[in-house]
Amino acid sequence: MIPSTDYSYLGSGSILIREYGTANPLVTLGNCSALTFSPQEDVKSLLDYTQPGGNKRAEIRRLTGVDMSLTFHDFSAANFAIGLRSAATDITAGTATDELVAAWKGGYAKLAKIATAITTVEPAGGGAAFTEGTDYELRDGMLFIPSTSTITNPVAFANNVQVTYTYAAQQKVEALVESNKNYELVFIGLNEAQSGKRVRVHAYKVNGGVIQEMSVIGEDFGAGQVSGALLADGTIEGAGLSQYFTWENEA
């Protein structure tokens, strides 16, 4: 039997990312379950027409690109900013005072923030405060008006109440408002099949795609799959140097 060296691989680790061409620090995407690179080829074949059974006379394979896919499980505003081409905002805890709202009997009214407690509800423009529990309730961070409330329905959809409430620190993502961006990506991990030897992959320029699916309700943990492509980084020059990515591992 010819002896051979075991190069089995089972990887785990962290994906770090930053916008391409910036001096920003690399930041982690958190818990990710997949990262794949898929080189793509354009195959041109010439059939052998001299033989009755056919076959290939010649073949040329040209690299057309490298596709990339990753799956993250931390539904953070920072990850959505990448996967949803979004603007993410951190909101500090505070109080909203006399926020004007259109509220109907038997339904919910969305407040500008996710409320933790409602202090007062008054007629729009001011007046005697309505009674909590009878005229209104706080449900799931929103204002709910019971069908038996003394609050009258809006006229021509105009705001009919003003609400003062408190809210906790929260994050807000404005989805699909940013242009497509390129990123630098570094994977730092361990090869569990080789007693935890270190592995590092550096993708120099990644064109980030949008999240393929976002499951808001489901029976499994949330997962965001983002596809993209590795682009050639023209700033890397020199014989034998890849403009796409490098793989490094401890021997």
The pLDDT tens digits for 91-112 are 999 999 999 999 999 999 999 9
- Is 84 in the same domain as 100? no
Strand locations in 24-125, DSSP E?
27-28, 32-47, 56-72, 87-91, 94-101, 107-109, 115-123
* pLDDT classification of 14: cutoffs 50, 70, 90: very high
- Is 97 in the same domain as 84? no
4 CB burial (10 A radius; 0-12, 13-18, 19+) = exposed
Question: 191-223 in b/e burial notation, b at 16+ Cβ within 10 A?
Answer: beebeeeebebbbbbbbbbbbeeeeeeeeeeeb
Residue 152 has a pLDDT of 94
pLDDT at 44 over 90: yes
Residue 165 has a pLDDT of 98
The per-residue pLDDT for range 48-71, each reduced to its tens digit, is 998 888 789 999 999 898 999 999
Between 122 and 54, where is the model more confident? 122
Share of the chain above pLDDT 70, in %: 100
pLDDT at 74 over 90: yes
pLDDT at 2 over 90: no
Q: Which domain, by its residues, includes 182? A: 11-41+60-88+177-234+243-249
Assess if residue 46 is contained within a domain: no
Structure tokens at 136: 């209104």
Tokens 């029976």 sit on residue: 219
The per-residue pLDDT for range 176-234, each reduced to its tens digit, is 998 889 999 999 999 999 999 999 999 999 998 888 888 888 899 999 999 999 999 99
Is residue 39 a contact partner of residue 63, using CB atoms and an 8 Å limit? yes
Is residue 203 a contact partner of residue 184, using CB atoms and an 8 Å limit? yes
Q: How many domains does the chain have?
A: 2
- Is 81 in the same domain as 24? yes
**What's the average model confidence in pLDDT over 21-50?**
94
Residue 212 has a pLDDT of 85
Assess if residue 49 is contained within a domain: no
Is residue 11 a contact partner of residue 199, using CB atoms and an 8 Å limit? yes
Residue 186 has a pLDDT of 97
The per-residue pLDDT for range 123-177, each reduced to its tens digit, is 999 999 999 999 999 999 999 999 999 999 999 999 999 999 999 999 999 999 9
Residue 67 has a pLDDT of 94
Assess if residue 6 is contained within a domain: no
* Amino acid in position 144: F
52 CB burial (10 A radius; 0-12, 13-18, 19+) = exposed
Assess if residue 1 is contained within a domain: no
β partners of residue 90: 171
Q: Which residue, among 21, 126, 27, has the nearest Cα to 72 in the 3D structure?
A: 27
Assess if residue 219 is contained within a domain: yes
Residue 53 has a pLDDT of 81
Q: Which residue, among 163, 158, 30, has the nearest Cα to 99 in the 3D structure?
A: 163
- Is 22 in the same domain as 68? yes
Distance CA 130, CA 96 (A): 17
Structure tokens at 222: 């949330």
Distance CA 97, CA 118 (A): 10
pLDDT at 3 over 90: no
Residue 54 has a pLDDT of 79
* Domain containing residue 223: CATH number: 2.30.110
Distance CA 26, CA 188 (A): 12
